[in-house]
Amino acid sequence: MPELTTLASPLDVGGVRIRNRVFLAPMSGITDEPFRQRAHAHGAGLVVSEMVASGELAKGRAGCDLRIRHSGLPVHMVQLAGREAAHMAEGARIAAGEGADIIDINMGCPAKKVTGGYAGSALMRDLDHALSLIEAVVDAVSVPVTVKMRLGWDESALNAPMLARRAELAGVRMVTVHGRTRCQFYQRKADWRAIARVKEAVSIPVVANGDVGSPEEAATILDQSGADAVMIGRAHYGAPWTAGSIAAAAAGMSATDIPETPKRLADYVVAHYEDMLSLYGVESGLRQARKHLGWYLDRHATRASAERRKHILTSFEPAEVIAGLRQAFTESAASPELRSAA
């Protein structure tokens, strides 16, 4: 059976060397450049861009350039979503032209605005169409192509093993499986044992995803799924160091650079906030940063007053937000669960 130490070893994905096997999941509106840089700095083996709509990218829509822009990390991985083969192929070419080392195809997003457009996990309802998109992307670029999927659309159609097998035959070099169906969204616990059926169906690396946030959970998902790597998403809310901490534990090391005092944590959050303002501009950046600030406050500044929290999350003045953050973390002792939360 796989052990946690497995996650400390490198992984080859179509000739691209990944430094360890604990990955940051692509999350729309979250895994932008500042977030990915932090997760990588803490030791995540692989970080993935936010989902990019291939049709908007192909048409040159504003904002897409920021999502696919190379951030200077050793491996640049871009995730594309869409339903049109031509758009997926063109989006892949554009991303590769911007330096993407790996292109991931989203066939797992459960959001209604995505599945309503017959993209994301809706593609698991029509495997022939899903394969047409995979083939279009594989044919369009020379870099490795991967696919992220769910177990199926619902409990009556658990077709992830079939999709993975057909994807491998079409040239896909790795698959990631979230252990829920689309209709489950994020309800009930992810079924890690069901991922094992995908692992048995293919010879390419399989990445297990869903409800992992600690070394113990990472070890268990490996044991139950037989997967080659783990991908972690929501456990990073307010803790960009989560994947890196698990990778460090797999290597028998202590995680480094985790802010563990109120002052260090305040400095960390302020720096993250300022990086988002720099990337998006003040007007857009302060709005997009609010969810991150809320998560940081929820996890690590629980003693901050409701009034201060509200001011931080509604102010349109960056200086006021920064001052409020420093006061909030000063008021709250560093959470004793700060390290274990990773």
- Bridge partners for 18 per DSSP: 11
Q: Which two tokens stand for residue 275?
A: 């990086």
CA distance 234 to 212: 9
Catalytic residues: 109
CB atoms under 10 Å from CB of 243, counted, come to 33
Q: Which two tokens stand for residue 152?
A: 């199926």
How far the first Cα of the chain sits from its last, in Å, is 24
Tell me how far the alpha carbon of residue 138 is from its chain's centroid.
22
CA distance 144 to 105: 11
CA distance 99 to 143: 10
Cβ within 8 Å of residue 97, ≥6 positions away = none
CA distance 163 to 178: 13
CA distance 114 to 108: 10
Among 310, 337, 342, CA closest to 324: 310
Q: Report whether 24 contacts 39 (CB < 8 A).
A: yes
Tell me how far the alpha carbon of residue 174 is from its chain's centroid.
15
Count of alpha carbons within 13 angstroms of residue 272, beta-carbon side: 30
Among 123, 133, 129, CA closest to 157: 123
Annotate 87-141 with DSSP letters as a single string.
HHHHHHHHHHHTT-SEEEEEE----HHHHTTT-GGGGGG-HHHHHHHHHHHHHH-
